[in-house]
Amino acid sequence: MNIAVLGSGGREHALCYKLKLSKKLDKLICIPGNAGTQNIAININVDLKNFDNIYQILTKEKIDIVIVGPEQPLVDGIVDYLEQKKIRVFGPNKFASQLEGSKGFMKNLCKKFKVPTASFGIFNDFDKAKNFINLSNMPIVVKADGLAAGKGVTICNSIDEAKKNVKEILDGKFKSSKKVVLEEFLEGEELSYFAIVDKNSYRFFGSAQDHKKVGEGDVGPNTGGMGAYSPAKILNNELENKIKKKIIEPTLAAMKELGHPYKGFLYAGLMIKNNEPFLIEYNIRMGDPECQVLMMRLDSDLVDVIDLATKNLLKNSKINWKNNSCMTVVLCAKGYPEKYIKDSEIKNLSSAIIDKSNQIFHAGTYKKKDKIFSNGGRVLNITSSGKNLVSARDSSYANLKKINWVDGFFRKDIGWRAIKNENN
């Protein structure tokens, strides 16, 4: 089978890695890819906004299935476009992509279909938002309605801070957002819960915990994710049952009722309090860096799974997971998540261990004359599995130490919460 993966991050490298392990794979292309995917797939450099060019490449390369990695092309309607051209593509259509593309859409859906989530208000008028803030408890969470590359959410501790953030969003800080969502602050522990979905059924597709804040001890500004591990210790059978019955299934039923059955990866960002799940956000794709740890734990053949999903036959599949733990530590360019250093050479990468239990998934990298350079905020994902989280963590950090990159930094405490409990 010939498969194309769209995207250029650690998530896409991890998807390519897992696809490449399948005997059913004939050809793998990655559009546009990075220096990591270049070693296992054919990178083709096309702008993901240019659907016509993508289509030309897919037909020229005789691609059977397309897997869309990032949210932007999904929100822009790439699935609708390719389906019209009779290309088999795995991901939600433009309407269903609003689950991530519009926080207002997602919150209204939760309200209508009784999915537990933080109480909220949606505003495009500053005075009305101000009144809502004046009547709310602090902290309050201020969110841009549309996609904002992980930068659209601020937890505000004072009324003034909340008003300032609302004003910035309504004044057009994010091109994608003319509306603002104000939310009750939920306390608890976060969990990333994944499902793979087709028109007829869905399957659990792994659990993980991410580390969104840039600083150790979970402080500082939000990032795309500084590291993750899987499985998430907080997930138990009772909680999983609640997640399915109260969140995933009502959402999938709602999308059917709205005339747009969901298909693709569905990533629920949850807050767990007293073993009860609350939906914080939906993402319409795999998580990054969660995908990196999940692809190393997935035992089943990913080509088979995606083949069945795109034929709406997931109900015939059994998805197996390895009984191990996996961790990824994200190596970032200094300055990230603000302005960061670019085009900096990463040395000694070849001395890192790459085997069944240790992988380095590239994100913002490119190759020039056999040297690897950075060109993104999140640059490498040092990923290892082990019999438990401590051994996975020790292997990741040991491998990371072999890399020599003066312009890089990383969090030294990935997994701290779970490891504290593992040691107790």
Interface residue list for ligand AMP (CB under 6 A) = 118, 141, 143, 153, 155, 183, 185-186, 190, 212, 222, 269, 280-281
Cβ nearer to ligand GLY, comparing 1 with 148: 148
Torsion angle, CA of 213/215/217/223, rounded to 10 degrees?
A: 10
Give the shortest CB-182-to-ligand GLY separation in angstroms.
21
Q: Which stretch binds ligand GLY (CB under 6 A): 110-118, 286-294, 320-328, 401-409?
A: 286-294
- CB–CB of 342/374 below 8 Å? yes
Interface mask toward ligand GLY for 290-319; x: CB under 6 A: x-----------------------------
Q: Which stretch binds ligand GLY (CB under 6 A): 37-45, 47-55, 254-262, 284-292?
A: 284-292
Q: Which residue has the tokens 């072999």?
A: 402
d(CA 331, CA 353): 16
The one of ligand GLY, ligand AMP, none whose footprint includes residue 264, by CB under 5 to 8 A per kind, is: none
Q: How far is CA 11 from CA 30, 41, 184, 404, 407, in A?
A: 12, 14, 31, 23, 22
Give the shortest CB-287-to-ligand GLY separation in angstroms.
4
Q: Which residues of 34-70 are buried (b: 16+ CB within 10 A; e: fewer)?
A: bbbbbebbebbebebeebeebbebbeebebbbbbbbb
Give the shortest CB-201-to-ligand AMP separation in angstroms.
26
Please state, as a whole number, how many other Cβ atoms lie within 10 Å of the Cβ of residue 190.
Answer: 18
Among 72, 283, 359, 381, binds ligand GLY (CB under 6 A): 283
Give the shortest CB-208-to-ligand GLY separation in angstroms.
8
Is residue 210 near ligand GLY by the rule CB under 6 A? Answer: yes
Provide the residue count of the chain.
424
The one of ligand AMP, ligand GLY, none whose footprint includes residue 153, by CB under 5 to 8 A per kind, is: ligand AMP
Is residue 287 near ligand GLY by the rule CB under 6 A? Answer: yes
Give the shortest CB-213-to-ligand GLY separation in angstroms.
12
Give the shortest CB-210-to-ligand AMP separation in angstroms.
7
Give the shortest CB-119-to-ligand AMP separation in angstroms.
9
CA-derived radius of gyration, the chain: 21
Cβ nearer to ligand GLY, comparing 250 with 287: 287
Give the shortest CB-174-to-ligand AMP separation in angstroms.
12
Cβ nearer to ligand GLY, comparing 136 with 192: 192
Q: Which stretch binds ligand GLY (CB under 6 A): 56-64, 120-128, 283-291, 366-374?
A: 283-291
Among 225, 250, 277, 386, binds ligand GLY (CB under 6 A): 225
Q: Is 217 exposed, middle or buried (0-12, 13-18, 19+ CB in 10 A)?
A: exposed
The one of ligand GLY, ligand AMP, none whose footprint includes residue 283, by CB under 5 to 8 A per kind, is: ligand GLY
Interface mask toward ligand GLY for 237-276; x: CB under 6 A: ----------------------------------------
The one of ligand GLY, ligand AMP, none whose footprint includes residue 377, by CB under 5 to 8 A per kind, is: none
Q: Which stretch binds ligand GLY (CB under 6 A): 91-99, 196-204, 282-290, 297-305?
A: 282-290
Using CB under 6 A, list all residues that contact ligand GLY. Answer: 210, 224-225, 283, 287-288, 290
